[in-house]
Structure 1
Amino acid sequence: MGRGAIPKNWPSSVPYLSQPSFAPHVTKAQRESLGIRSPDLTTAIPSNFARGPCPLVRIIVISDPSHPANGQAGLFAARHLEPGSLILPYYGLVHSSTPPYSLAHDKSDYDLWLNKEADVAVDAEKAGNEARFVNDYRGVRERPNAEFRQCWDARSGQQCMAVFVLPAGKNAPTKASAGGIAKGAEILVSYGKGFWSKRREEHEETV
């Protein structure tokens, strides 16, 4: 893959993915489970959604001392993003979430469930795409403006995790900002209470 196929500000130490990568231990049954589209999986990545760098987003290094991720990178909207719309898929290493395979991912800040019933997760710590730079909203704004959502990838015929703009009414503290995500705004999700509880426990173990 040439450098032209890698987003600006992409870290040279992290391989860029234009599709998910599968760990060798992922079983045939787990792969088959990901290839089943359940009736409640109504959201989909369309077959014409381009792979590679996403034109909807920009990776930007944060230089705001008040930002929890100051000095690190965040993901920002390159244009106005409509409420409820797909931003981009979340790519990483698809792996089993059961021991001993899960042990390599216990400390990762980039590990998400993909299919709990199949015990499969996706971790973008060591390889991924732009979605790995989505930060948590806490300490940045009152509410998140985006969310992780399990969906169906029509291109590969498999379940996938992706980032979507929150629907109108869910993301806006005021009516003036109810129209999706503005160009130049940071894309922010909620990592969930479980994420922060685990991080607090890890911190307490080290002090």
Structure 2
Amino acid sequence: MGKDATPKNWLSSVPYLSQPSFAPHVTKAQQESLRIRSPDLTAIIPSNFPRGPCPLVRIIPISDPSHPANGQAGLFAARHLEPGALILPYYGLIHSSLPPHSLTHDKSDYDLWLNKEAGVAVDAEKAGNEARFVNDYRGVRERPNAEFRQCWDVRSGQQCMAVFVLPAGKNTPMKAGACGIAKGTEILVSYGKGFWAKRREEHEETVGQDIQAYED
């Protein structure tokens, strides 16, 4: 492997993916479901989009005590990114979201639906690409400047999740949205209310277990 096989500041403990990776348990029917392009799947990853480390982004360690991800890392724009532009695909382990396989990924912070109807999701916790470093906007800025969007990957001929710059005017003032994402700015999305609700439940459950253990 060459010196550019992984991006700068990549975690050595996490395999870097430059294409989709399927868990062995994913059924043939589930794989085939990802190769069906519905008419409303208009966003695409074009055939000439390069694989490997993405020149549009940089992984940068965060050392700001006020940042929710302080001590970890975030994904930043390496150049100006236009409104609505594709930034990069979200790669991880494509797996079944049905029991018992769903239990393995239930507590992952990197798991996204890929095709909910087919029971397929993608988890970048233990393998992925730069997109796994995208943080939530809460506690960093007033609004997100990017979003996860389901799209069609022309290169592999299947559905994919990817990170896009928010279009001008979407969840942001028109004047700000028209600017896209400036070079050096952190790329931030909304993880969604469901994500945070689930994390609150897990926290309450953990606290309850700790109290019970103390009382015992």
Shorter-chain TM-score range: over 0.9
Correspondence 1:41 to 2:41: yes
Q: Once the two structures are superposed, what CA deviation does each residue of 1:48-74 show, in whole Å capped at 9, x if it has no partner?
A: 000000000000001111100011000
Give the distance between the partners of 1:99 and 1:68, measured in 2 at CA. Answer: 32
Give the distance between the partners of 2:176 and 2:18, measured in 1 at CA. Answer: 35
2:60 alignment partner, SS class: strand
Give the distance between the partners of 1:116 and 1:200, measured in 2 at CA. Answer: 23
Give the distance between the partners of 1:6 and 1:184, measured in 2 at CA. Answer: 20
Correspondence 1:64 to 2:64: yes
Correspondence 1:9 to 2:9: yes
Aligned to 1:198: 198
Aligned to 2:169: 169
Aligned to 1:91: 91
Correspondence 1:114 to 2:123: no
Please report how far the alpha carbon of residue 177 of structure 1 lies from its aligned counterpart in structure 2 after TM superposition: 5.7
Aligned to 1:103: 103
Give the distance between the partners of 1:166 and 1:106, measured in 2 at CA. Answer: 28
TM-score, with length taken from structure 2: 0.93
Give the distance between the partners of 2:134 and 2:67, measured in 1 at CA. Answer: 13
Q: Once the two structures are superposed, what CA deviation does each residue of 1:94-115 show, in whole Å capped at 9, x if it has no partner?
A: 0000000000000100000000
1:29 alignment partner, SS class: helix
Q: Which amino acid aligns with 1:185?
A: T
Aligned to 2:127: 127
Q: Once the two structures are superposed, what CA deviation does each residue of 1:139-193 show, in whole Å capped at 9, x if it has no partner?
A: 0000000000000000000000000000001253472563100000000000000
1:5 alignment partner, SS class: coil
Question: 4+ runs of 1 displaced by more than 3 Å?
Answer: 171-174
Larger Cα-atom Rg:
2
Q: Which amino acid aligns with 1:30?
A: Q
Q: Which amino acid aligns with 1:206?
A: T
Give the distance between the partners of 1:185 and 1:42, measured in 2 at CA. Answer: 27
Give the distance between the partners of 1:30 and 1:128, measured in 2 at CA. Answer: 20
Give the distance between the partners of 1:85 and 1:17, measured in 2 at CA. Answer: 22
Asked whether the 8 Å contact 2:4–2:53 carries over to 1, the reply is no
177 and 159 in structure 1: CA distance in 2 versus 1, 3 angstrom threshold:
closer
Give the distance between the partners of 1:2 and 1:204, measured in 2 at CA. Answer: 46
Aligned length: 207
Give the distance between the partners of 2:105 and 2:5, measured in 1 at CA. Answer: 27
Structure 1, unpaired ranges of 5+: none
Give the distance between the partners of 2:86 and 2:171, measured in 1 at CA. Answer: 15
2:74 alignment partner, SS class: strand
2:64 alignment partner, SS class: coil
Give the distance between the partners of 1:107 and 1:2, measured in 2 at CA. Answer: 34
Deviates more, 1:7-16 or 1:171-180: 171-180
TM-score, with length taken from structure 1: 0.97
Give the distance between the partners of 1:203 and 1:187, measured in 2 at CA. Answer: 27
RMSD between superposed Cα atoms in Å: 1.1
Give the distance between the partners of 1:37 and 1:2, measured in 2 at CA. Answer: 35
Identity across the alignment (%): 89
Asked whether the 8 Å contact 1:172–1:178 carries over to 2, the reply is no
Please report how far the alpha carbon of residue 4 of structure 1 lies from its aligned counterpart in structure 2 after TM superposition: 2.2
171 and 82 in structure 1: CA distance in 2 versus 1, 3 angstrom threshold:
farther
